[in-house]
Amino acid sequence: MGSTSDLTMTNPEIFTEIWRGDLLESFHCGHAVVCDEKGEIVHAWGDPTALIYPRSSSKMMQALPMIEGGFGDHLTSEQLALCCASHNGGRIHVDRVRAWLADMGLSDDDLRCGAHMPYDPETSAELICGHTSPDQCHNNCSGKHAGFLTFTKALNAGPEYLEIDHPVQLAIRQAHDELTEETSPVFGIDGCSAPNFAASLHGFARAMATFASARDKSGARHAAMDRLIRAMTAHPELVAGEGRSCTELMRAMDGRVAIKTGAEAVFFAMIPEKKLGVALKIVDGTTRASECAIAAILVKLGVLDPAHDVTRRYLDAPLTNRRGFEVGTIRAGVALR
């Protein structure tokens, strides 16, 4: 059984405050690291050595071995964005995943991610009204799994691509350890059943900085990283969906920054113009806190306009009640202001 000290042994910082009227009602604490292209820490809050699971924030790293190996040369920019996506399960996402599987001679049955109701309200309503159950293509990770299947076919490997000793997962583990410059001490199984490898926040920020500085470097790995970043920023609507922070914030930054959320309040960012990588974790796993904190850090780094309408939805955002009355605010903590 793991110790709770993994995240709290060094005091985390207060990242997000919830104010109701003039009273601080609650707050969320976290850790965050910003690294430069050399992997050096340029900003840190809390404990840079805190060990975390990246969850879906690591999807760029999971797609990298396939692209670096030349097995994704035929993939479109949209498909690369879906490889990195935690999508809403709207038609814009599901139809593309289905077409991708069909092009490989595969179907929903070949996926191993499981099914859940889509986050997209329109698609969810259609399924409910039609008395139809969602399939695996509706899973928010189905694009990543279509990428896994693409890699599996290229390697002529077996169909159980999520097994820890499968060639796909062995390649991902190797890339993960090389990019973080750490040997992952433990892995967990993600919501979509894929292995998720742990590392320190510093390690993940270092990996994101390597992605961020890739376009000015040569070699297959850097070219693959650049393709993935460009795909994410070109198609923010595929990476998440309407009303989602990843999509909205990338649009607000005009495609200059790639960001990716993960379950349990993780957020990663890649900033090519500054060659910086960001890794963030909220200790209690609250998404509203991670969204506020990543917006505050992006403002602090000078890549997100604090006055942009989208920024105001996450940073110093109004807290409303059931009647739509503004009763408080969600603010960045003092450490991030």
CA separation for the pair 33, 204 (Å, rounded): 9
| The predicted structure's pLDDT at residue 254 | 97
Share of the chain above pLDDT 90, in %: 96
pLDDT digits (tens, 9 = 90+) for 214-257: 999 999 999 999 999 999 999 999 999 999 999 999 999 999 99
Mean pLDDT score of the chain:
96
Beta bridge partners of 170: none
pLDDT level of residue 6 (50, 70, 90 thresholds): low
Bridge partners of residue 32, in order along the sequence? 45, 280
What CA–CA distance (Å, rounded) separates 206 from 123?
A: 38
Residue 45, strand partner residues: 32
R_g over Cα of the chain:
19
Locate all alpha helices (DSSP H) within 104-262, ordered by sequence: 121-129, 142-155, 167-180, 201-212, 220-234, 236-239, 245-252
Q: What is the C-alpha to C-alpha distance for residues 26 and 282, in angstroms, rounded to an integer?
A: 14
Residue range 263-303, pLDDT digits in tens: 999 999 999 999 999 999 999 999 999 999 999 999 999 99
| End-to-end Cα distance, the chain | 37
Q: Is the pLDDT of residue 177 over 60?
A: yes
> What confidence tier does 260 reach under pLDDT thresholds 50, 70, 90?
very high
Q: Do residues 61 and 179 make contact, with C-beta atoms less than 8 angstroms apart?
A: yes
Give the pLDDT confidence of 196-210 residue by residue, as tens digits: 999 999 999 999 999
| pLDDT > 80? residue 10 | no
pLDDT of residue 1: 38
5-336 sits in which CATH class? Answer: alpha beta
Q: Is the pTM of this model over 0.75?
A: yes
The answer to whether the beta carbons of residues 124 and 131 sit under 8 Å apart is no
The span from the CA of 307 to the CA of 315, in Å, is 10
Would you state the structure tokens that stand for residue 222, as one six-digit string? 């850097």
Label residues 224-257 b or e (16+ Cβ within 10 Å = b). Answer: bbbbbbbbbbbbbbbbbbeebbbbbbbebbeeeb
Q: Residue 2: is its pLDDT beyond 50?
A: no
DSSP secondary-structure letter at 137?
G
Helices 59-68, 142-155: axis angle to 10 degrees equals 30
Which residues make Cβ contacts (< 8 Å) with residue 6, sequence separation at least 6? 50, 51
Q: Cβ distance 204 to 48 under 8 Å?
A: no
The pair of structure tokens assigned to 121 is 């309200």
Over residues 58-81, the pLDDT tens digits come to 999 999 999 999 999 999 999 999
- Name the percent of the chain lying above pLDDT 70: 97
Residues 6 or more apart whose CB falls under 8 angstroms from that of 52 comprise: 7, 198, 199, 200, 201, 204, 266, 281
Could you give the CA distance from residue 75 to residue 67 in angstroms, rounded to a whole number? 9
